[in-house]
Structure 1
């Protein structure tokens, strides 16, 4: 087992600063949607899972997930920490199960649900194409 290079207190302080809203990947997606002329609502707390972007016109909820926290399968950013493996396995399983439950609840409410992964935001053209497909809109001069 590998030991951490920082103290548990330092690690705790570092992890407590990880944001859940307004992350860099989320801001990229929001900016692209705005450039494309799409209107959306942010973090609607009345919907299961508080989706990052909600497009009422398209009955669409988009989650912008971090590859590490939500375990993007096959992604290099979804690495496994070397210390406290049992803790992390439980944490990741909880996140994945919660994601599935929220997606199912939204679908029962007749919402369409999709995820844009953190690693996908590195290629803004790919994200634009995905958003165009999801909203079934034609590209404008963004």
Structure 2
């Protein structure tokens, strides 16, 4: 079968406009392929900071924004915070993780939940900005 002729299947919906409270953030890492690819713009809902395990989020670090995926840490340790991966598990991919980030600290560090991909109808010069306001 010629896979070049198959349509590109995506798990995230495409946005042509940004709703209020959403930002388009440039993806600079390939750790969450096939859902997010380098050079694409992830749509981040900056009003949605509730932890949902398995979803993708942007977290604020000293060196900038990073995509993370919260997951349940299977252990007898009491649930004191959020454990998160810096990559989606895949064959041959090294997956780094961190945590727990205390639940009360999550809203301060969380930029928002990734809800889609931004694909504007027109190409607009974005300058050097990594994201743009809705």
Q: TM-score range by the shorter chain?
A: under 0.3
TM-score (norm 2): 0.24
**When you count strand as a share of all residues, which structure comes out higher?**
2
Question: Which structure features the higher share of helix residues?
Answer: 1
**Greater RCO (Cα-Cα under 8 Å, separation 6 or more):** 2
| Larger gyration radius, structure 1 or structure 2 | 1
